[in-house]
Amino acid sequence: MGITPSDQSQQGTSRMRIRPASNGDWPQIWPIYAQIVMAGETYAYPEPPVFEVARSLWMEEPPGQTVVAVEDDVVLGSAKMGPNRPGRGAHVATASFMVDPAYHGRGIGRALGEYVIQWAHDAGYHSMQFNAVVETNTAAVHLWQSLGFEILTTVPEAFNHPRYGLVGLHVMFQRLAGKAE
């Protein structure tokens, strides 16, 4: 996959690395989270975001993990990952991603995506499912497809986009078990 969870990755930007997020990272993640949620184009999180509610939604770890992409101690983006469902659905991973809009186009989303896929594979997940990729978020759809995800279905009119009105949400999937190491 290119990036392994044990790496201090150099992918995306020349000095960028991906590492587990700490409580001390939240003050830098928060403005990214707030800006993306308030834009209303990619996440159905409550608006306006509230600092502690957002923190619990994004930084809540067990049984998963939250990571940050950093360069020179500046958080460029973050991902959270873990089981898609508890119990009998816990063999399927899921993840969410946010990249600071000021750093779009630098490969940070791809680096985080590769890291998360490798993390899920190494953690023994059978597959990975994204439950709600907004169909108008074409950059994300293209990225996930280039990383091996397929669109299983689109739930019509499931997301109320601020510019386009009611648009679909893609359910995207990738099998991890049995992939070449």
pLDDT tens digit string along 16-58? 999 999 999 999 999 999 999 999 999 999 888 999 999 998 9
Inter-residue long-range contacts of 78-84, CB under 8 Å, 24+ positions, other chains counted: 78/21, 78/25, 78/29, 78/32, 78/33, 78/112, 79/112, 79/113, 79/115, 79/116, 81/116, 81/119, 81/120, 83/125, 84/128, 84/129, 84/131
pLDDT tens digit string along 130-180? 999 999 999 999 999 999 999 999 999 999 999 999 999 999 999 997 665
Question: Domains in the chain, start-ordered, CATH in brackets?
Answer: 17-175 (3.40.630.30)
